[in-house]
Homo-oligomer: A and B are copies of this chain.
Amino acid sequence: MSLAHVYSYIDSQREVFLEDLFQLLRQRSISTQDDGVQECAELLARQMREAGIEATVMPTPRHPIVYGEVGPDGAPTILIYGHYDVQPPEPLELWESDPFNPVIRDGKIFARGASDNKGQLFAHVKAVQAYLKVLGKLPLKVKFIFEGEEEISSPSLEPFVASHKDLLKTDVCIFSDSHVQENGRPLVVLGLKGMLYVQITLKGANRDLHSMRAAAVPSPVWRLIHLLSTLRGEDGLVRIPGFYDDVRPLLPEEIAAVEAIPCDKDALCADLGIPALLQNRNGDDYYKNMIFEPTCNIAGLKAGYQGVGAKTVLPCTATAKLDLRLVPDQKPERILELLKDHLAKNGYADAEIEPLGFLTPSRTPITHPLVEVARDAVADAYGVDPYIYPGIGGAGPNYIFEKHLGVPCITIPFAAADQNNHAPNESMIVDGYFNGIKTGASLIHQIAAFYAAKK
């Protein structure tokens, strides 16, 4: 019996493995709204146990971590990280089907969390289940850490990892998040962006007023417009002084890897319905910008009347939600200080600045030997070579594992590029789910072989 038999078994179990995933997708787990998260953790642990994994729900100050392990003690170890919490599904009216009632259309599973991240973490659970079923036992130890707070910037993860170093001891961390190449080719990703998420609120009068008062009473909405216009130029560059100071210079190998990624700008623009890509420090080079460019995005803007038609009000408050995505070696805490200084110096000392999330950016060396092992494992499962990304646009907690466990982090996405994560009609491509299960099995096999060869 070999890995090929595991692949065959996986192919034979498509209906069962889909229904098991659907069960997980039906369970709400909206971390920012405290909606169903505990119930989802318990369901996931139950499903892991059914797959042959020892799983337990471990409390944190807010949403629990699901920990699991399986395989021989003392063997080389893989730690699989994922998150079972999801983004809020709003705006609900733009979904074509219920976000918590998964359905398959056009070869895709539509549901909130289908790709981000339930469908991707679950592939590793099913990989272990298939491997055990066909080959009887694992050739190495596989550990799982699935958190319920990723979509709220993982506040409990770092304390948990820092205080459970023995439990989590591993040789490598594997993540499956984000998506494969637009052309369907798989990826091996070596870094993630960091993030500072802040909410900025300005206040005017102590109550909303009839808008006739706009001739005499200051408007916090106009002040917010002017405040925001100082943060980013029309050229797309961030204007907070010092923002770019800590950006790590790029290595020639990193640039070469990114330049090897094919990009059809016209197809991209056509898919998104935009006339052109953003210009910034790398011109409109899509992958260089996505991988290497820090950003200041307005994720939400709210003031005054939100309904249909006209209402003539002078609002008493105005709020912006900003997510600033950072690259090595920017630090979110430092960027927050720069932002505060900038606002105070520009007449906005009264702005209420509420930080809602900090994530440090990370990047694993492209020269680490496990990078090649991972590439071969992915190639075997997919039947095609992956591209190597030195980083990716998404943010995540990789740096926590790098820092506290001292091991490389490698991300291998299974979702398709049109997954619509964080947006209405999120989907997971059905083939990606099964390729993911095969990749999970292949990684177990190849990494075990790599360590056996080293002995």
List the interface of chain A (C-beta within 8 A of B): 32-33, 87-88, 90, 94, 151-153, 193, 195, 197, 199, 204-219, 221-222, 224-226, 228-229, 232, 234, 236, 272-274, 276-278, 280, 284, 286, 289-290, 293-315, 318, 321, 323, 325, 356-357, 392-395, 420-425
Contact = CB atoms under 8 A, between A and B. Distances in A.
Contacts of A311: 32, 87-88, 151, 299-300, 321, 422
Determine how many copies of this chain the complex contains. Answer: 2
A232 B205 CA distance: 20
A274 B325 contact: no
Contact of A309 (B277, B304, B356): B356
B308 A32 contact: yes
Given A229-B225, A272-B206, A325-B215, A300 B306 contact: yes
B302 A298 contact: no
B289 A312 contact: no
23 contacts: A32-B308, A33-B309, A205-B272, A206-B272, A207-B420, A208-B423, A209-B272, A209-B423, A210-B422, A211-B323, A212-B325, A212-B392, A214-B296, A214-B325, A216-B290, A216-B293, A218-B274, A299-B311, A299-B312, A299-B315, A300-B311, A302-B306, A313-B423
Contact of A310 (B234, B302, B323): B323
Contact of A290 (B193, B212, B313): B212
Contacts of A356: 309-310
B302 A212 contact: no
Please give me the 10 A-B residue pairs with the lowest Cβ-Cβ distance, nearest first: A212-B393, A206-B273, A32-B309, A214-B297, A300-B305, A300-B304, A301-B303, A208-B423, A205-B272, A221-B298
